[in-house]
Structure 1
Amino acid sequence: MTPSEDTARSRGRLARRVGLRAVAGTVAILVPLALAGCSQAAPKVEDTYGGLPSYLPTAKAGTDGELVGSVTHPALTSEGDTVKVALPGGGTVRMTVTGPVVPGEGLPEQADITTCTWMLKLDDATRAVPIRLSDLTTLDQLGNVYRLNAVPGEKAPPTELQPGSSTTFELRTNMKVGEGLLRWAPGGSRIVASWDFEVEND
């Protein structure tokens, strides 16, 4: 290839590059303008969803309020929630259940049964409320019932809660990993409230 041919080829490549840059520059200018034109032409959308259909039931005030549990209408809620319990024989008391707390989370090998600890709080009693551990049980997803015990070394629950006072205590049992319910049947009668939970140790 002669020097003149090499020069001509280099000029041709340079001209093509300049041409491509010019086209790219034109496109870079025209595309934003075209998009701006499109965005300006778009109709304005109202930032509302409109009203609810008339056939839907109207939500009552206090839907997320405290549940009331009784022998005839037991409350079912989640751990961490409070239930106002209508006691058999009259009177009410509020009960809150949190937990369970389990040991050994994150270990490479997990047992099917683990130690579970709950915290219970009772307050706002309108009359003296007997507290018996035999009235509190847990139930796993297979229907197995577990008895609860006081936690060794921790404050034991009182035998009775007086009106206007409150108490907080921990209870413990060993139970199967999975879903469950903690249930209260004051006086050993029928269950008035249940708190659902999940035993997880992974």
Structure 2
Amino acid sequence: MAEDPRLRRILRALAWSGGFLAFIGAVAVTPFVLNLVAPNTLDWNRLSDISQSYGAVSLVISAAALLGVVTSIAFQAKQARLEGEQTFRAAHRELTMLTLTDSALLRCWEPPRIPMTEARWKQLIVTNLIVSMWASDHHLGRLNDGALRVVLGAHFRGEVARAHWENSGSMWRDHMAALEEPRRLRFVEIVDEVYHHAGETGPPVLDREFFIPGD
């Protein structure tokens, strides 16, 4: 059975911490070891002057080691958050795809706020999956505010995209507000902003006008 990635991260963090503590311990016992092995003729006053310089150097080294430990732990925490977000996204995607395979499963989700056909509701479910992907990327910093506005500007040119936010926008706002995370609230604010701007620029490209008729 493959080793749990989270266990590996914990073990690495413990190894870093153990190494740091061992280093500090070695620094602490060094004066006592010197006292045991030093000859009686040793000039301790001169050694004291040297040890003061040594102490300054050891302090810098200890600070650097501590910084390394903190950096490693922070990196491990970020990796854990990324993996957790990716796991959630994969589960959400699989559940959505399962729903679309059986019309009866559509009733397992909340009903549409706005009356619509089953075909349109399926379109909105997929659109919600797309918006969720952008929300995740924005939250993790892979999509900044400017880039988010660009993709949303293109997104809201379409009829289905606008229908999705008209139906689901209030739920997104309530959900993000309940999470009380500034960056998630910022995402909804930007989506609202671009959605309203798209409505002011004119009508959307209709569903039936997306593509030219084929042969």
Q: TM-score with structure 2 length normalisation? A: 0.22
Instruction: Select the structure that is richer in strand.
Output: 1
Instruction: Select the structure that is richer in helix.
Output: 2
Instruction: Indicate the structure (1 or 2) with the bigger Cα radius of gyration.
Output: 1
Larger relative contact order (Cα-Cα within 8 Å, sequence gap ≥ 6): 1
